Amino acid sequence: MNGLENTQQLQSQLDQQVLLYRITNRIRQSLDLPGILTATVAEIRSFLGTDRIMIYEFSPDGSGEVVAEARFGDRLPSLLGLHFPADDIPAYTREMYCSLRQRTIVNVAGGTMGISQHLEETGTSSGIDYRTLDPCHQTYLTAMGVEASLVVPILLHPLNPVSSEKPKLWGLLVSHHAEPQSISESDIHLVQLLVDQLAIAIAQANLLSETQQQAQQEATINTVVSLLHERPTIELLAALEATVKALQGVGGRLYIQPNAPHPPEVFTWGKQPHPPDGIPSGILEEHPLWQHWLTNGYGTSSHTNPTPNPALSAWVITDVYKEPQWRVLLRNFQSTPIRGILVLPIQYRQQLLGVLTIFRDEIDTETLWAGEFDPSVKQMMPRQSFEIWRESKQGQAQPWTEAELTLAKALIHQFAMAIQQYQLYQEVQSLNLNLEEQIDERTNQLKRALDFAKTLERITDQIRRTLDLKTTLSCLVREVRALLDTDRVVIYKLINQQAGEVVFEDRRDSIRSIVGMQTPEDCFPEDMVMLYREGRMRAICDVYNENLALCHQEFLESLGVRANLIVPINQELKIWGLLIAHECTHPRNWETEELDILKQLADQAAIAIAQAELYEQSRKAAKNEQAKAEQLTHTLNELQKTQSQLIQTEKMLSLGRLVAGMAHEINNPINFIFGNLLYASEYTQNLLNLIQLYQRYYPYPNSEIVNYISTIELDFIAKDLPKILESMQSGADRIRQLVLSLRNFARLDQADLKFVDLHEGIESTLLLLQHRLNINSDAPEIQVKRQYGNLPAVECYASLLNQVFMNILSNAIDALAFKTQGSNQNFSTSEQTQPCLEIRTALRDEITALPKIVISIIDNGTGIPNALLPHIFDPFFTTKPVGQGTGLGLSISYQIIVEKHKGSLKCLSHWGLGTEFKIEIPLRQSLPDVTLNS
């Protein structure tokens, strides 16, 4: 029997060790607290063989909830997820569980309760001390259907082993059995070991939760820091949104206190309080309640400190409807579900920058209680039923947790630095803006002063350069209107002391002219003349708001004047007239600077008038004395003019006679030579034929003849003499063509408009330039391509057109020679092997315009750079080396084509490829109705 008991005892100890190992291994392998709790209650129920094992967790308010449960069948109902009020486990009982770590074993049928204390020093039990069960406790367990129970506290010890902090009662492990059951001390000891391991698991899970929560807070802080400090701009609104979401809020406000000269700023996101309809709204943070808190904090009523308090703490409001101080603002929240408010002061280095406010909505709660009870009345009697009682509450306030407050304080520090930077940036921007405005204002002042100086200089220069009063005063009104940027500026000249008229004006195109208009005599009183004579100036900003005479106001209305500026033009002791600026479309506030400017310009006008009058007086005084001198000068000028005309005519006649004489003198001997060459050739051939006949019939001449024939090389002469005559004839013909080309090119008999063949002029020019087509012996000859159209006779100045052809063709040959000689190798394309000159002519007969002749002269030379194209027709502009061009050829050609022939001359060039000059002239200059065949 003793051996059997020893075996059973060893088996029981082995089962306990296996159970302890399984639970411990499960705790070490997982940090999933619900899974650990579920496995623990299942293992303990199986070990103890009880009907129900549950783990009961205490809430901060003392109530508790069954968070894990294991049952055997349906012997006892499930209590999982049900709550128990705080009064079910009195405070003194919880204290005994915590301080003495006592375990309770209840036998309901026997009416006893055993108490076992866990000795921490030895890790053993103090034994079971049985006492009588309290009737209330007995009734409570009987109502639950429990006959035997075991309660073991679950205590969480501080992580720091040297800390003097007491362990925290986390919950209870409770065993219920529907029948009486005895529990040994060894079983209690094993359950305690399992509970200790469970406490370690709970502590680890709590530590993991805190670590995850801290990591989440760090991530939130990093997100807000990125929005506030790492972006190109400070994203205050986005940071507010992230903060509201991190603190489980539904809306928020960021109020930045006014910072001169900047007004207060408010950023809002999400749900916001708003006043009822019909009540004006303002900035919530500027309400006296808020301002009182900013200066004194909450909970005080003194107003001794008028400045913001730099040591404010957060204002944590769980339920705004339970805050007495907020009753004046409750109407703003009544239409919203907002109930919780967290007000955070934003401070930076003892300076209050603003306020961050987070709003939280009300929530609805539902709690499942184990049995119905009245939470507002302390339970004096044990409950008789533990059926589920569903308690629903609506509109409950959600309290702010310590973790949320810690996160809020960390975030508010980042907001403080960001707002400080934001305000510094605003200050820098404000300083920059003020500086820019000052610079702009000073620049405008300098510009106006410069414009006035330039205007004064121009008018003074005009007075010095001319004594023409009309020109000077016209310039004056024009410059004054541009300087003042007004609608109309006039010079009003007094006819007598009572009236006058407008003699000069400058106006906008939309404003009507009033030159020559006179004022009524009774609208210019003598006292006004006296004031102007004394130098009075008058600025009328609005004719309808000035104290003007009725006739004066009506007169200004008739002129369309709304505002005017009047300055007198005085000459010593008399007034000559007035310089007046008109604003016709709207009133205008004239500046003192504008009045001073107009006064100085009026003085310049007085100087100009005085000089003109002095000049007129001098001119009249000297008129009689200079009459004969002027007549003699006129006669002398006429004689000189006539003499110049005679000299010019004589020069032209001499030049014409010289050209005609040269052509005639050259042409006469050439005609003589050319005419006799035919006979000389014929005679020579006859003599040669005669010599051949002699040789045929007298084959044996005497020795002297034979010797002479040998000496003169008769055979060579017979062959070479015809060639000499042919060459002489070709040369004479060439000279005749040159003379003809010279006459055609000069066209001395065609100085006026004539109908000519343009192709003849082009060919004459090419013939005169024939000697330049062969550039040098090493380079190929310039190839001339002709694409002539069918042109009728063109009415033009033939000699001038030939001059244009000569200039353009000469430039083209120069460009081809320059490229052929290789002087410039920086062309965009490869050089052409054959220099080419192409001439095209065509008739362009348009329906809507007169027919035009188009002449294109194209070369494949060096081309002209784009930068030089706009200047090629400028006088004295040339691209040739110094000494090789005057720069007048193309300028003269342009005048001939555009001015003389009413045509166009264009240059199209590509650098390195070539140039094209396109000439267009009308087919008819003076006879547009002549047919093309005439």
Residues facing residue 566 across a β-bridge: 538, 580
Query: pLDDT digits over 798-823, tens only?
Result: 878 887 888 888 888 888 888 877 64
Rounded-to-integer distance, Cα 764 and Cα 829, Å:
34
pTM equals 0.46
Token readout for 520 is: 């009524």
**Cβ pair 514, 559 in contact under 8 A:** yes
CB 106 within 8 A of CB 137: yes
> CA quadruple 881, 886, 892, 893: dihedral positive or negative?
negative
pLDDT digits (tens, 9 = 90+) for 454-483: 776 777 776 667 777 788 788 888 888 887
Q: Which two tokens stand for residue 67?
A: 């968070």
Q: Region 855-872: what's the mean pLDDT?
A: 88
Q: Are 290 and 257 spatial neighbours (Cβ–Cβ below 8 Å)?
A: no
Q: Round to whole Å and give the CA distance between 753 and 575.
A: 62
- Asked if pLDDT for residue 917 goes beyond 90, the answer is yes
Q: Is the pLDDT of residue 446 over 50?
A: yes
The Cα–Cα gap between 455 and 466 comes to 17
Integer Cα distance of 229 and 485 in angstroms: 50
Which of the given ranges, 118-132, 272-286, 888-902, has the highest pLDDT on average? 888-902
Separation between Cα atoms, residue 489 and residue 561, nearest integer Å: 11
Of 919, 903, 916, the closest CA to residue 838 belongs to: 916
Report whether pLDDT(832) > 70.
no
Residue 768 has pLDDT above 80, yes or no: no
Q: What is the mean pLDDT of residues 836-852?
A: 84
Range from 4-13, 117-126, 169-178, 543-552 carrying the lowest mean pLDDT: 117-126
Amino acid of residue 644: S
The helix (H) or strand (E) run that includes residue 686 is helix 627-697
751 Cβ neighbours under 8 A, 6+ residues apart:
797, 799
Average pLDDT over residues 318-341: 85
pLDDT in tens, 431-440: 777 777 777 7
Which tokens hold the place of 551? Answer: 């006739």
Tokens of 111: 């009416």
On the question of a cis peptide bond just before residue 881, with omega within 30 degrees of 0, the verdict is no
Helices 402-465 and 469-484 meet at what angle, rounded to 10?
Answer: 180
pLDDT band for position 151 (cuts 50, 70, 90): very high
pLDDT at position 125, please? 58
Contact by Cβ (8 Å): 252, 357: yes
Torsion 655-656-660-665 (CA) sign: negative
d(CA 99, CA 91): 12
Confidence of residue 414 (pLDDT cuts 50, 70, 90): confident
Q: How would you classify the pairing of strands 836-844 and 783-787?
A: parallel
- Quote the Cα angle for 770-774-775, to 5°: 125
- H or E stretch covering 118: strand 112-118
Beta bridge partners of 389: 369
How confident is the model at residue 883, as a pLDDT? 60
The C-alpha atoms of residue 279 and residue 583 are separated, in whole angstroms, by: 47
Q: How far apart are CA 690 and CA 722, in angstroms?
A: 15
Burial 439-455 (b: 16+ CB within 10 A, else e): eeeeeeeeeeeeebeeb
In this predicted structure, what is the pLDDT of residue 28?
Answer: 66
Distance CA 759, CA 765 (A): 10
User: Which residue matches tokens 């051939």?
Assistant: 685
Q: Round the average pLDDT of the chain to a whole number and report it.
A: 78
pLDDT of residue 377: 59
**pLDDT > 70 in the chain, percent:** 80
Q: Which one-letter amino acid corresponds to residue 253? A: R
The answer, yes or no, to whether residue 856 has pLDDT greater than 90, is: yes
pLDDT at 850 exceeding the cut of 90 = no
Q: How confident is the model at residue 886 (pLDDT cuts 50, 70, 90)?
A: low
Q: How far apart are CA 455 and CA 598, in angstroms?
A: 11
Residues 784-797, mean pLDDT to the nearest whole number = 90
- Reduced to 3 states (helix: H, G, I; strand: E, B; else coil), residue 275 is coil
> Hunting for tokens 């809507």 — which residue is that?
848
pLDDT at 207 over 80: yes
Instruction: Give the distance, in angstroms, between the CA of residue 503 and the centroid of all CA atoms in the same chain.
Output: 52
Q: Does 124 have pLDDT greater than 80?
A: no
560 neighbors 511 (Cβ within 8 angstroms): yes
Taking residues 639-666, report their average pLDDT.
Answer: 48
Of 14, 57, 51, 31, the closest CA to residue 190 belongs to 14
Q: What is the separation, in whole angstroms, between the first and last Cα of the chain? A: 160
Each residue's pLDDT tens digit, 8-48: 666 666 766 777 777 777 666 666 888 888 888 988 888 88
731 pLDDT higher than 50: yes
φ, ψ of residue 587 to 5 degrees: the values are -65, 160
The rounded radius of gyration (Å) of the Cα atoms in the chain is 61
What distance in Å separates the CA atoms of residue 889 and residue 897, rounded to the nearest whole number?
12
Helix (H) or strand (E) holding 629: helix 627-697
pLDDT confidence of residue 477: 82
- Within a 10 A sphere around the Cβ of 392, how many other Cβ atoms? 8
Is the model's pLDDT at 926 over the cut of 80? Answer: no
Residue pLDDT, tens place only, 232-243: 777 888 888 888
- Which tokens is 250 given? 């539904």
Note the pLDDT of residue 150.
Answer: 93
State the angle between helix axes of 33-48 and 185-229 in degrees (0 to 180), rounded to the nearest 10.
Answer: 170
| Beta-carbon count within 10 A of 366 CB | 9
pLDDT at 333 over 60: yes
| 42: its two tokens | 């299942």
Give the up-direction half-sphere exposure of residue 222: CA atoms within 13 A in the CB hemisphere. 6
Q: Is residue 366 classed as helix, strand or coil in its secondary structure?
A: strand
pLDDT, residue 211, reads: 84
Neighbours of 601 (CB within 10 A): 24
pLDDT value of residue 930: 42
Sheet strands side by side (includes 836-844): 783-787, 836-844, 852-859, 914-922, 904-910
Tokens linked to 332: 């703003």
Mean pLDDT score, 368-372: 80
* pLDDT range class, residue 922, cuts 50, 70, 90: very high
**pLDDT at position 497, please?**
67
How far is the C-alpha of 716 from the C-alpha of 693, rounded, in Å? 17
Identify which of 197, 160, 158 has the alpha carbon closest to the alpha carbon of residue 30: 197
Q: How far is CA 565 from CA 444, 478, 502, 540, in A?
A: 22, 16, 15, 6
